[in-house]
Amino acid sequence: MVTLMQLWGPIVLSAVLVFFASSLIHMVFQWHKSEYLRLPNEDEVRAAIRRQAPPPGKYVLPYCTGGKEMQDPAMVQKFVDGPVGFLLLKANGMQSLGRMLGSWFTFSLVAAFAVAYVASRTMAPGADYLQVFRVVGTITFLTYTGGSVIDGIWMGKPWRSVMIDALDGLIYGCLSGGAFGWLWPR
């Protein structure tokens, strides 16, 4: 059996590779840039939200408390009239890129640790590179892509954005699979 202590190298390398690949994707290639749209009346929308001063959180439009309210003709009309969607609000002020990058790297480490746990329980020392690559790559792909698919289904995230996230996940899966396959205990 492979222990998690034996996998510390591929765990860290995988997280570092994902972090740097993500940095290239977002800062150099910028293929996510087209996903972010601007409201034609952004200043008016911002002013309306600012007047109400809602706390940071996740908001739904129109707000509905349950199935019974969904039957109310007035609520049905709100859905027909639109807009229908979700709004995420953060705290006011400049966002700390360093803090977000630190959180992203921490998540990448946790993800690599979880992948290592599954891999350590499913493959023996000396497993073939390609077998390790496939198992780790698949688990990593699902880890980084699954949430985006769920958002496409339930939150209305555009499917083009989901596919771009899936491309990211495929890259992260290949890098992680390669790192684990290369450093898998013999």
26-48 pLDDT, tens digit per residue, is 999 999 999 999 999 999 999 99
- Is 153 a domain residue? yes
- For every residue of 12-80, DSSP letters joined together read HHHHHHHHHHHHIIIIII-TTGGG----TTHHHHHHHHHHH-PPSEEEEES---SHHHHTSHHHHHHHH
pLDDT band at 9, cuts 50/70/90? very high
- Is 44 a domain residue? no
* Residue 99: alpha-carbon gap to chain centroid: 17
Our count of domains for the chain comes to 1
- Is 29 a domain residue? yes
Q: Return the pLDDT at 123.
A: 98
Question: Alpha-carbon distance 131 to 126, whole Å?
Answer: 10
Tokens of 144: 């980084």
Cis, bond preceding 83 (omega within 30 deg of 0): yes
In this prediction, residues 8-22 reach a mean pLDDT of: 98
- Is 77 a domain residue? no
pLDDT band at 138, cuts 50/70/90? very high
- Domain residue limits at 17: 5-37+96-183
Q: Return the pLDDT at 11.
A: 98
- Is 63 a domain residue? no
- Is 59 a domain residue? no
Backbone angles phi, psi at 146, to 5 degrees: -55, -45
CA atoms within 13 A on the CB side of 85: 7
- Is 9 a domain residue? yes
Q: Return the pLDDT at 25.
A: 98
- Is 55 a domain residue? no
Question: Alpha-carbon distance 101 to 16, whole Å?
Answer: 12
Closest CA to 17 of 87, 122, 115, 90: 115
In which residue are the tokens 């890129």 written?
Answer: 97
Closest CA to 64 of 49, 78, 53, 81: 78
Strand partners for 88: 58
Closest CA to 163 of 37, 36, 38, 32: 32
